[in-house]
Protein backbone atom coordinates (compact mmCIF):
# COMPACT_ATOMS: atom_id res chain seq x y z
CA UNK A 1 0.00 0.00 0.00
CA UNK A 2 1.47 3.35 -1.08
CA UNK A 3 0.15 6.58 0.43
CA UNK A 4 -1.88 9.09 -1.59
CA UNK A 5 -0.65 12.29 0.04
CA UNK A 6 -3.44 14.51 -1.25
CA UNK A 7 -6.13 12.18 0.15
CA UNK A 8 -4.20 11.90 3.40
CA UNK A 9 -3.90 15.69 3.67
CA UNK A 10 -7.64 16.15 3.14
CA UNK A 11 -8.43 13.46 5.71
CA UNK A 12 -6.10 14.93 8.36
CA UNK A 13 -7.44 18.44 7.81
CA UNK A 14 -11.02 17.19 8.14
CA UNK A 15 -10.19 15.30 11.35
CA UNK A 16 -8.40 18.29 12.89
CA UNK A 17 -10.64 21.10 11.70
CA UNK A 18 -10.48 23.97 14.19
CA UNK A 19 -7.84 22.26 16.37
CA UNK A 20 -4.87 24.41 17.41
CA UNK A 21 -3.33 22.30 20.19
CA UNK A 22 0.06 21.03 19.00
CA UNK A 23 -0.05 17.73 20.92
CA UNK A 24 -3.56 16.88 19.72
CA UNK A 25 -2.48 17.60 16.16
CA UNK A 26 0.68 15.52 16.57
CA UNK A 27 -1.31 12.55 17.87
CA UNK A 28 -3.75 12.64 14.98
CA UNK A 29 -1.11 13.21 12.30
CA UNK A 30 1.10 10.40 13.68
CA UNK A 31 -1.80 7.94 13.70
CA UNK A 32 -3.14 8.81 10.26
CA UNK A 33 0.25 8.87 8.54
CA UNK A 34 1.44 5.66 10.22
CA UNK A 35 -1.51 3.65 8.93
CA UNK A 36 -1.40 5.15 5.42
CA UNK A 37 1.60 3.24 4.05
CA UNK A 38 3.17 -0.17 4.66
CA UNK A 39 6.67 1.35 4.51
CA UNK A 40 6.09 3.31 7.72
CA UNK A 41 7.42 1.23 10.63
CA UNK A 42 7.65 4.01 13.27
CA UNK A 43 5.92 7.34 12.91
CA UNK A 44 6.03 10.13 15.43
CA UNK A 45 7.05 13.48 16.76
CA UNK A 46 9.88 14.78 18.88
CA UNK A 47 8.96 18.08 20.56
CA UNK A 48 11.28 20.99 21.24
CA UNK A 49 11.22 21.27 25.06
CA UNK A 50 14.30 23.44 25.67
CA UNK A 51 16.97 25.11 23.56
CA UNK A 52 18.75 22.34 21.66
CA UNK A 53 16.64 19.52 23.10
CA UNK A 54 13.93 17.24 21.70
CA UNK A 55 11.71 14.88 23.73
CA UNK A 56 9.40 12.17 22.51
CA UNK A 57 5.89 13.20 21.55
CA UNK A 58 2.93 11.30 20.16
CA UNK A 59 3.92 8.32 18.02
CA UNK A 60 2.84 4.99 16.53
CA UNK A 61 5.04 1.90 16.54
CA UNK A 62 7.55 0.48 19.00
CA UNK A 63 9.34 2.52 21.64
CA UNK A 64 11.22 5.61 20.51
CA UNK A 65 14.16 7.40 22.07
CA UNK A 66 13.04 9.61 24.94
CA UNK A 67 15.48 12.51 24.53
CA UNK A 68 17.48 13.66 21.51
CA UNK A 69 19.85 16.64 21.58
CA UNK A 70 19.98 18.76 18.41
CA UNK A 71 23.63 17.68 18.03
CA UNK A 72 22.80 13.99 17.56
CA UNK A 73 21.09 11.80 15.01
CA UNK A 74 18.80 12.42 12.08
CA UNK A 75 16.14 14.12 14.22
CA UNK A 76 18.73 16.41 15.75
CA UNK A 77 20.02 17.32 12.28
CA UNK A 78 16.51 18.25 11.10
CA UNK A 79 15.96 20.40 14.19
CA UNK A 80 19.41 22.01 14.02
CA UNK A 81 19.39 22.80 10.28
CA UNK A 82 15.66 23.31 9.71
CA UNK A 83 15.98 21.06 6.65
CA UNK A 84 14.29 17.79 5.72
CA UNK A 85 16.56 14.82 6.31
CA UNK A 86 16.09 12.05 3.75
CA UNK A 87 18.28 9.12 4.78
CA UNK A 88 18.28 6.04 2.52
CA UNK A 89 20.68 4.11 4.81
CA UNK A 90 20.77 5.01 8.50
CA UNK A 91 24.03 3.09 8.98
CA UNK A 92 25.74 5.59 6.67
CA UNK A 93 24.44 8.65 8.56
CA UNK A 94 27.14 10.04 10.90
CA UNK A 95 25.90 10.05 14.50
CA UNK A 96 22.72 8.08 13.78
CA UNK A 97 20.91 7.11 17.00
CA UNK A 98 19.60 3.56 16.83
CA UNK A 99 16.32 3.77 18.72
CA UNK A 100 15.29 0.55 16.95
CA UNK A 101 17.60 -2.04 15.44
CA UNK A 102 15.10 -2.73 12.63
CA UNK A 103 15.33 0.80 11.14
CA UNK A 104 17.01 0.87 7.73
CA UNK A 105 15.95 4.27 6.35
CA UNK A 106 14.40 7.44 7.72
CA UNK A 107 12.81 10.75 6.83
CA UNK A 108 12.62 13.61 9.33
CA UNK A 109 10.89 16.94 8.73
CA UNK A 110 11.00 20.11 10.83
CA UNK A 111 7.58 21.10 12.24
CA UNK A 112 6.87 24.83 12.42
CA UNK A 113 4.01 26.65 14.14
CA UNK A 114 1.96 29.41 12.53
CA UNK A 115 4.66 31.98 13.33
CA UNK A 116 7.40 29.88 11.73
CA UNK A 117 8.95 28.72 15.02
CA UNK A 118 10.34 25.20 15.29
CA UNK A 119 8.09 23.19 17.65
CA UNK A 120 9.39 19.73 16.82
CA UNK A 121 10.32 17.25 14.15
CA UNK A 122 8.26 14.55 12.45
CA UNK A 123 10.15 11.29 12.14
CA UNK A 124 9.25 8.26 10.03
CA UNK A 125 11.40 5.14 10.14
CA UNK A 126 11.22 2.19 7.77
CA UNK A 127 12.53 -1.34 8.04
CA UNK A 128 13.20 -1.10 4.28
CA UNK A 129 16.34 0.48 2.83
CA UNK A 130 15.84 3.63 0.73
CA UNK A 131 12.11 3.66 1.51
CA UNK A 132 11.63 7.43 1.13
CA UNK A 133 12.05 9.89 -1.71
CA UNK A 134 11.31 13.50 -2.69
CA UNK A 135 7.63 12.66 -3.27
CA UNK A 136 7.37 11.65 0.39
CA UNK A 137 9.23 14.78 1.48
CA UNK A 138 6.91 17.09 -0.50
CA UNK A 139 3.72 15.27 0.52
CA UNK A 140 4.60 15.19 4.21
CA UNK A 141 5.80 18.80 4.22
CA UNK A 142 2.47 19.92 2.74
CA UNK A 143 0.53 18.00 5.40
CA UNK A 144 2.62 19.40 8.26
CA UNK A 145 2.39 22.98 7.00
CA UNK A 146 -1.40 22.77 6.68
CA UNK A 147 -1.96 21.06 10.04
CA UNK A 148 0.40 23.13 12.20
CA UNK A 149 -0.18 26.57 10.70
CA UNK A 150 -2.98 27.02 13.27
CA UNK A 151 -0.66 26.49 16.25
CA UNK A 152 0.55 29.70 17.88
Is the pTM higher than 0.85? yes
> How many folded domains does the chain comprise?
1
Most confident of 55-64, 89-98, 99-108: 55-64
Percent of the chain with pLDDT over 70: 100
Q: What residues make up the domain containing 24?
A: 5-148
| Cα distance between residue 135 and residue 138, in whole Å | 5
Q: Could you tell me the pLDDT band of residue 143, with boundaries at 50, 70 and 90?
A: very high
Q: Evaluate whether 39 touches 66 at the Cβ level (below 8 Å).
A: no
Q: In what order do the strands lie in the sheet with 67-69?
A: 67-69, 53-60, 42-50, 118-126, 105-112, 85-87
CATH number at residue 78: 3.30.450.40
How much is the pLDDT for 96?
A: 74
Range with lowest mean pLDDT among 17-21, 38-42, 46-50, 61-65? 61-65
Amino acid sequence: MRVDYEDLRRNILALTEGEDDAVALMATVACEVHHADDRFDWTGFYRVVAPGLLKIGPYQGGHGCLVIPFERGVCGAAARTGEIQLVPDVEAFPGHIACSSSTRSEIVLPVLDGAGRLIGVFDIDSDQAAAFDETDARGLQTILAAAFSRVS
